[in-house]
Structure formats: structure tokens, C-alpha cells
A and B are shown apart, each in its own frame.
Chain A
Amino acid sequence: MTIAPAAALRPRFVLAGNPSVLWALLVLAIFTLGVSFLSEGMGVGLISTSFVKTLGKTLCLCLAAVAMDVVWGYCGILSLGHMAFFGLGGYAIGQWLMTARTTEIVAQSLAGQPLPPTPRELEQAVATQIFGVVGADEFPWIWAFSDSLGLQLLMVVLVPGLLAGLFGWLAFRSRVTGVYLSILTQGMTLALSLWLFQNDSGLRGNNGLSGLQNIPGLDGWGQATLSVAFLWGSALALALGYVLFAWLTSGRRGSVIRAIRDDEARVRFLGYGVEGTKLLVFTLTAMVTAIAGALYYPQAGIINPGEVAPLASVYLAVWVAIGGRGRLYGAALGAALVSLLSSWFTSGGVPDVPLGFATIRWTDWWTVLLGLGFVAVTLLAPKGLGGLFDLVPRRPSRRQGDWGPDDGAWRREEG
């Protein structure tokens, strides 16, 4: 073998060393431009505004799935609580959206009065408007920053980051791993959703936050234009997140992260602080997931405590498993495919199947189908849908030498 061994560790710019990242970004760009071109808001109007929103939301779910892949597929932490961070990001941005929007409306309705309202009166009127449904007429303390977009955007990453940091610190420090850790993360998201369901949580209990699709200050835009703007925002976030995680999982840091997944005890004997590295990955992925949530809910228009129910996080893991963990594009693919199929089936878009003795209503049977699909992928294609890319014959390239004599494509993606 006459490979120059130095090439084995040749440092390369993340993008150049990893063609799959460039491909993913290219596909994403073409998709976004294509949808914009076909949309009502910007282009020829073949795609309805509500479907543009669905696609924009799907991109946010892809970002969450990519983060989930890093924490689970690369670092080996099967977190079944990452959708809690997604929801918290949504609540954080929702607080500003609701406050600003309601303030606009209340100010308008009070404008006709002979005496202009004092700021205090205005605040109280806004509070009554927002919290009347839970019988309150004052802003709870957790809304302290809700009148500032900047601060509330900070809360989007800060609150989930702190929760993930605290949770991770407690869990990893006590060396809780495997199934026990997964159960703990389920407990965390369950506790969060139960707390949110309470009226005195300060986040409007089971009413959740609504009217989030109206962006204060952008009334002139209309939903059609806004939907395209959010599609672009979501695509940009996904692209940046993708590059960030491609970087995180490359080089020596990526090596150590994967080593922790495969044998964390051994990594300790190399001198690496396993707990610290896991905490870093867990917290970082939580924060990116929260950003995805902050972009998702303005497109959904509403968020309620059901969104952070334990099941949501389980679905996230299922998407990643179906897409193929340990490869970022696999996770994105799985999330896009399954969530789009899911909304198609559950929205009644698929015709019922009459069997004579019974009728298969897909709104009810979709979860069964998903379950069967999950089992099928696990048994037949353990590498997930992303693994199908390994079957594409590759023409030998100069790069091949860098990554080993046998053409195991996944290593190139992972490296």
C-alpha cells in the first residue's frame, strides 16, 4: 500500500473534507428556492401558503433531528427529552409575540378614548387580555422580559441551555447512562409538560400561547409573504446548524465524541473528561433544538403543553432511527419524510380503505403504520434510510486514499 499515511489525519476545512455537507446544503438551497418560486407569496402560486408553512415547519423539525442525531447517533446519549427544549424555545418566542401583538391591539382599541391610557393602564389591559383565560390580570414574573424582542430571543437559548446544563450536570456527574438516562429525560419532559398544564405556571396552562403567526410590526406583509420569509429563516437555521454539527463531529473532537458513544470508560483512561464533553454536546444540541422550536411555532401559530409531552421526544428519536443515526443527512431525511407523511395521513389526505367488515381510517391507523415502518427499517435496514446512499456506487476519487482502502462511505461522512 502506498498511501501517504500523513493523509490519514490531514486537516481539511469541514466542508471540503466532507462532501456530504456540501450536497446537503445544495439540496436545501434548491428546495428553498424551488418552494419560494412555486409559492403564493413570492412566485407562481402552485404551493398554498399553508403548505409553505408545513414545509417551513418541516425544516425546523429537520434541525431538531440533526441535533438529536449528534447527541444520540454520535455521542450515544439517547435523550428522550429534546422536544422539551424545542417547546421551551417556542414558548420563549411566543411570549414576545403575544405581548407585542396584544399590546398593539389594545393600544388601538384604547386610542379612541378621550384620555390616552397611562402605561400602567395599558399594561394591565394587555395582561387581562392575555391572562384572562386563566383568571389572572397581571403579568407573571416569567414574562418580565416579554416586551423586549432582544431579551426574549436570548431566553430562547438561555432557558433551554440552563435546563439542559443543569439536568446534564446532575445526570452525567452521577454516571447515569443508557436506559436509565433515557427514562430520566422522559421524566424531565413529562414534568415540564405537567407544570405547563397548570394554570398558575404563568404560561396560560392548557390554553398555551396562540396567535403566534401574526408578527408584530410586519402586518403589511401578509401571511403568504411571511410564510416564505419563515421558510427562508428555517432553511438558514438548518444550514447553519448543519455546518455547526458537521464541524462538531469532525476532527479530534468528533473522534472523541464517537469514542464516548462506543466505550466511554475507555475514553476516561485516555484522560478525557467524559462528563464535561457529554454535557457540552447535550447542552449545545438542546440550544440548537430550542432555536428550531422558536422558528417552528410562529409558523404553527399556537403552542400548548401537549407539544412537550414525552411522546414528542420519542417521535424525534424514531425519525432519527428511521433516517439513520450517525449521519446528519440521514436524520434530516428521516424527520422530513416521516413528519410530512404523518401530516398527510393524519390530516385525512389519504383516502380510507374499506375492507368490508371494517374501514381503515388513516387518521387512526397512521401510528400503526409508522410503528410497522419503524420495525421494518430496524430489521431490514439498520443503517436507516440514509444507509441507502451507501449503495450508490462511487467512482474512485483521489480522496479515497484518505479514508481507507475499502469504500466504507459512512466513514467519509463521519470523518
Chain B
Amino acid sequence: MTTLLEVDSISVTFDGFKAINDLSLAIASTGLRAIIGPNGAGKTTFMDIVTGKTRPDRGRVLWGEGGMNLVGLSEARIARLGLGRKFQRPTVFEAQSVAENLDMALKNPRQPLRLLLARRTAADRVRVEAIAEEIGLRAHLTRRAGELSHGQKQWLEIGMLLAQDPKLLLVDEPAAGMTVAEREHTTDLLKRAARTRAVVVVEHDMEFVRRLDCRVTVLHEGRVLAEGSLDHVTADPNVIDVYLGR
């Protein structure tokens, strides 16, 4: 299987505190990957670096076949290359409708002048509907995103990710604030998405990770502590020590 993303010994320091410490990680071009770790392990910071929000002090982030280095590129440029991101705190555009949120995310030309002249095509509308159906918000297309429940906002943001049609989805704590039934729906969504692309999920909830049924990477103090199946990593004494044992 080919590697889509390769993080090569990155480090980042915030005010003398090493949030990411010589981290290396490779993500295959299809399938799920879960990243777990205690609070402050550097999971979100890892996503910040990959998506261009934070610049690492050292190291490279290599993307795709050609091994293009993403470090130093703008957030928008990285997103256009095919990296989509869902934030830990759901961030949708609350003043706009669900349909408008999805429509904005659709894979369409992004340059200011092209955007200026863009028209919403029939194909766009069909796609928005299909995604809304998939995330269970079809009946809510015309509602303001701000009126949605917390779980629905999470789905909307996942839907926006799907609309972008990225090669890699980085999903930060998708199940936070969801009911059990909603969590199951979310697991299904992510599993389906992972059939054709790479999906990286950061999650605290062990049951949720178990249901994802995929390779797990444990982060601790900004570096990889263990990697393998969930059963494998949960049996690792180091992991039990720093994370599960508490």
C-alpha cells in the first residue's frame, strides 16, 4: 500500500515546552487510522502542523507520490492539495444554512476571481443533497447551522469534509458530545469514507476506537509511544503506564 502522508521527525516548541518531540508517522492512502493519547499529548498540534496552521521547528511533512514538503505552505494551499480537517470544537458557519455550509465546501474552483463568477450548478445541488442524506441532515438543509445540536454540528462538519472530497481526512474528536446512537452513525460514516481515502481519527473514547477497528497510534508527550492493533497497544506496559492505568 502506498504512503500518502509521511511525517518525518517533526518537533515544535511552545514557549520552551516541547509539544511535539521528534515525531515520525506514516499514513497509507486508504483506510482508517486512530490516534489516541492523554490530554496534551500533542494530537491536535500534530494536525495543526500537517494542515499548515502551526509551523514545526524541525522536520518535514511529505505528501503524496512526489513527496512534496507541506511545511511552509499556506493553509488554503494545503487544503486544495486534498487535506481536509475537522476541528476538535465543531466549527461550522453558524449564521448560514446547512446547505450553504456544504455548498461552500464542495470541490469547486477556489481562486477569488473564479469564485466571483461561480454559479451553483444542478450537480452541486445534487451533491449537497446526497451528502446531507449521508450525514442525516437532509431534513435540516434550510436551517441555520447555529440552530443544530452539538452532534449535528459535528456531522455537518464531517459532511463539509466529505464535500471537499479530500484525499486525507483529519478528524479531531468526532464523537465528543454525541449520544451512543449518534456515535454509531459517526463510526459508519468514517468507515465508509475510509474505503476510498485515508482517514485519521483522534479520539479519547476507547469504545469508539474499538468500533473503528483499525490500526492505532498512541501519542505521548509529543512522540509515538506505541502502534498496532488496539489490543496490541492496550497490552503495552508503557501505554498502560501513561494512559490507561490512570
Contacts and interface: CB of A to CB of B under 8 A. Distances in A.
Interface of A: 1, 3, 5-11, 248, 251-253, 255-256, 258-259, 262-263, 265-266, 268-274, 276-277, 279-280, 401-405, 408, 411, 415
A258 B112 contact: no
Q: Output the residue of B87, B94, B115 with the most chain A CB within 10 A.
A: B115
B143 to A, nearest CB: 6
9 contacts: A3-B142, A5-B132, A258-B93, A262-B93, A269-B51, A269-B79, A269-B84, A270-B76, A411-B97
Contacts of B96: 255, 258-259
A411 B141 contact: no
Contacts of A401: 142
A405 B147 CA distance: 11
B141 A271 contact: no
B75 A9 contact: no
Nearest to A6: B125
A8 B95 contact: no
A217 to B, nearest CB: 37
A251 B108 CA distance: 14
B118 A273 contact: no
Nearest to B113: A280
B100 A11 contact: no
Given A5-B138, A6-B125, 17 more contacts: A5-B142, A9-B125, A255-B103, A256-B104, A263-B91, A266-B91, A269-B76, A269-B84, A270-B76, A272-B76, A273-B111, A277-B112, A280-B113, A401-B142, A402-B142, A404-B97, A408-B144
Give chain A's interface secondary structure class: helix
A401 B142 CA distance: 8
B99 A9 contact: yes
Contact of B75 (A268, A277, A405, A408): A268
Interface in B29-46: none
The list of the 5 closest CB pairs from A to B, nearest first, reads A8-B99, A271-B79, A276-B112, A268-B75, A5-B141
B72 to A, nearest CB: 15
A342 B142 CA distance: 42
A2 to B, nearest CB: 9
Nearest to B121: A11
Contacts of B119: 11, 251
Contacts of B116: 248, 253, 280
Q: Output the residue of A1, A10, A269, A279 with the most chain B CB within 10 A.
A: A269
A383 to B, nearest CB: 13
Contacts, number: 120
Given A268-B75, A277-B115, A403 B142 contact: yes
B112 A280 contact: yes
B229 to A, nearest CB: 31
A8 B97 contact: yes
A8 B115 contact: no
Contacts of A258: 93, 95-96
B85 A259 contact: no
B124 A9 contact: yes
B129 A259 contact: no
A1 B164 contact: no
Contact of A263 (B51, B93, B100): B93
A1 B76 CA distance: 37
Nearest to A8: B99
A266 B93 contact: yes
Given A256-B115, A263-B91, A11 B129 contact: no
Contact of A259 (B79, B93, B99, B124): B93
B139 interface: yes
A276 B87 CA distance: 24
Contact of A11 (B91, B97, B120): B120
A5 B144 CA distance: 14
A269 B141 CA distance: 22
B141 A270 contact: no
Contacts of A256: 104, 115
B156 interface: no
Nearest to A280: B112
Given A255-B103, A266-B93, A276-B112, A271 B80 contact: yes
Nearest to B114: A253
Contacts of B164: 270-271
B149 interface: no
Contacts of B118: 251-253
B128 interface: yes
Contacts of A271: 76, 79-80, 110, 164
A7 B100 CA distance: 12
Contacts of A265: 53, 75
A404 B115 CA distance: 25
Contacts of B141: 3, 5, 8
B19 interface: no
A9 B93 contact: no
A251 B116 CA distance: 9
A265 B75 CA distance: 9
Contacts of A1: 139
